[in-house]
Chains A and B, each alone.
Chain A
């Protein structure tokens, strides 16, 4: 309730801003940014939005059908919540956006999918990795890899690098991303002959002491926790407190400076799979760091330092993919953009982007594995895994 009042106020302010800008500018095209700025995934959502905003600052206009349009970002907060996400989505529909980017977090993307479908607005998932997001629909696309792939990468990494035979899997109840990735990891790990102990935790849980104890008692060799960064910080803390020496593994959400800060100076080993490795494109890294440091708001949104998160790179790529689609469509009409997206390709900082013709998923076969360096509080590159590696 309280968040809703807050978001209504925010959106009212935003709407007034929109009206004001609409009267002064001639031709504009609106791109909806459907991301969490609060709740469990708020930290990640803000970093993804930063990538989109940075891209917008570089390319504020787009040529559509021979006319130059100003690109206006319409940013809403879906509050990381499956109940409130659709309201934020409906707001974007009401604002008449041509295409939507987001969201960070698969659950909220699935929850809002129907709203976009009914309005005929295409959406480009930036880092939502659950297959359900795009499955069986023609309006939701995505530019990242999927959880079945990510789960296999992590499972084969656990069994090959650590020789693990028994894994502990901790997922959050009612979180599509967490449950999905946990499921695909379990499947892949069992296929490799491993054994899995799985447990779940509830929304709002802060006490992870017992889970760590169980993982220790069961003699597990890796601890896999596809959770939000909020829960992750608590898990890392407890793992350190109880002297858990087995490696902690996680998916793309853990690729965040929240994790680095939580792990700094602690005796833990953390490995994550992700979309982009800082240093992969020095020019982009430099530009985005400058953008992050340019205002205190940006710096706060990035978690207080200028570590480049993979989701920021993905947000950047998503924006340019959307521009490509707009150019190809030759109009700001949502239906035309939707049609054009099927054939859109783009060379992004995170790699080549094109969509398969079945679900609109990105054709991607590589993931990076990184390790948190607890001394320098930075990510160290470990390996690049492709589909060929895990077969």
Chain B
């Protein structure tokens, strides 16, 4: 029992941060699934959502600023796709990736300019930010809310993809980009929808993440973004359940490693795990098999 009460806080923290990584990872994996593009700007969109919240909450009540953050983040994701990726639709994939890196630095530098390079304190959200004690673990309520909310959002997303018309269009586009276009699928609106969903989930993720870890700086998106990307690769990039599972695994493993006292090696271990999985399953846990077209 004492063993459990000693180690439960690490596990709870791991599950929580895993849920936050999952919400970001979905954005990576969906965009990759359809465009075969690694959207390097995704972590920065997550960070910008945090910054918007900092400024919004300073001038308006919480129940206005939260929807505003979601809307503005979605708008940002949509605009980035329209301005930086759409004109390059027929260009080699490498060009789009370079464009994504450009957007990433642009967003970081903009925030750097606005904040003066200093870390901004994230506002304390009522209810979510309160301390609670469950099973002897004292932490913020957001820690327990995160995994539940993540699961609900993922189930909704899977339903959207499996049951709706736009979901069917997304699946078709991810199977074969050109043929789906020939079949009359409006590919641009499918891609926009993908970016909108990805950005929305990143915004929700930022609300949860920064409520727990309350400092937003221009580079705050880098580490969570990288971990979420790793989670997406880990689970098999393109697969939503894979990304979610990968994110939880990474979140839990890095916190358990800290619990064992090897704090210095937490990231090394996470990335070593990635290498091992990729050696045995090169396409990730749930990755699609590469089929050679003749």
Contacts and interface: CB of A to CB of B under 8 A. Distances in A.
Nearest to A212: B9
Interface in A12-43: 37-39, 42-43
Contacts of B108: 2
Contacts of A1: 105
B140 to A, nearest CB: 4
Contacts of A300: 116
Contacts of B214: 233-234, 237, 262
Given A210-B259, A241-B140, A242-B139, A204 B223 contact: yes
B193 interface: no
A240 interface: yes
Contact of A199 (B219, B223, B261): B261
Contacts of B258: 210-211, 214
B9 A200 contact: no
B220 A206 contact: yes
A306 interface: no
Contacts of B9: 209-210, 213, 216, 242
A1 B13 CA distance: 33
B114 to A, nearest CB: 11
Chain A interface, DSSP helix/strand/loop, else mixed: helix
A230 B215 contact: yes
A217 B217 CA distance: 31
B219 A262 contact: no
A39 B263 contact: no
A57 to B, nearest CB: 21
B213 A207 contact: yes
Interface string B114-125: 001111010000
A243 interface: yes
B266 interface: yes
A206 B213 contact: yes
Interface in A183-228: 199-202, 204-211, 213-214, 216-217
A208 B223 CA distance: 14
Contacts of B164: none
Interface string B96-113: 000000000100110011
A230 B212 CA distance: 15
A300 B220 CA distance: 21
Interface string B214-227: 11010110111000
B255 interface: yes
A213 B212 CA distance: 15
A5 B105 CA distance: 11
B288 interface: no
A234 B215 contact: yes
Interface string A98-126: 00000000000000000000000000000
A3 B115 CA distance: 13
A341 to B, nearest CB: 32
A96 to B, nearest CB: 27
Chain B interface, DSSP helix/strand/loop, else mixed: helix
Contacts of B109: 2, 5-6
Contacts of B264: 173, 200, 202
A243 B131 contact: yes
A226 B9 CA distance: 24
B117 A202 contact: no
Nearest to B20: A207
Interface size class of B (residues with CB under 8 A): 35 or more
A372 to B, nearest CB: 15
A242 B261 contact: no
A261 interface: yes
Nearest to A213: B9
Contacts of B105: 1-2
B214 to A, nearest CB: 5
A234 B258 CA distance: 17
Contacts of B119: 43, 230, 233, 258
A324 B33 CA distance: 67
Given A206-B215, A214-B258, A243-B131, A6 B112 contact: yes
A383 to B, nearest CB: 29
B1 to A, nearest CB: 14
Contacts of B113: 6
Contacts of A217: 6
A243 B138 contact: yes
B117 A42 contact: yes
A289 to B, nearest CB: 21
A6 B110 CA distance: 11
B31 interface: no
A262 B112 CA distance: 21
Given A209-B139, A237-B214, A39 B10 contact: no
Most buried by A among B13, B108, B117, B264: B117
A243 B9 CA distance: 13
Contacts of B267: 202
Interface of A: 1-3, 5-6, 37-39, 42-43, 46, 173, 199-202, 204-211, 213-214, 216-217, 230, 233-234, 237-238, 240-243, 258, 261-262, 300-301
20 contacts: A2-B108, A2-B109, A5-B109, A38-B112, A38-B118, A42-B116, A43-B118, A46-B118, A207-B17, A207-B212, A207-B213, A209-B139, A210-B259, A233-B121, A241-B139, A241-B140, A242-B9, A242-B139, A243-B131, A300-B116
Q: Which 9 A-B pairs have the closest CB atoms?
A: A38-B117, A210-B258, A213-B9, A209-B13, A206-B213, A241-B140, A243-B138, A2-B105, A230-B119
Interface of B: 6, 9-10, 13, 17, 105, 108-109, 112-113, 116-119, 121, 129, 131, 133, 138-140, 143, 212-215, 217, 219-220, 222-224, 255, 258-259, 261, 263-264, 266-267
Given A173-B264, A214-B258, 16 more contacts: A2-B112, A37-B116, A38-B112, A38-B117, A42-B116, A46-B118, A201-B263, A202-B264, A202-B267, A209-B139, A210-B13, A214-B261, A233-B214, A234-B213, A240-B131, A301-B116
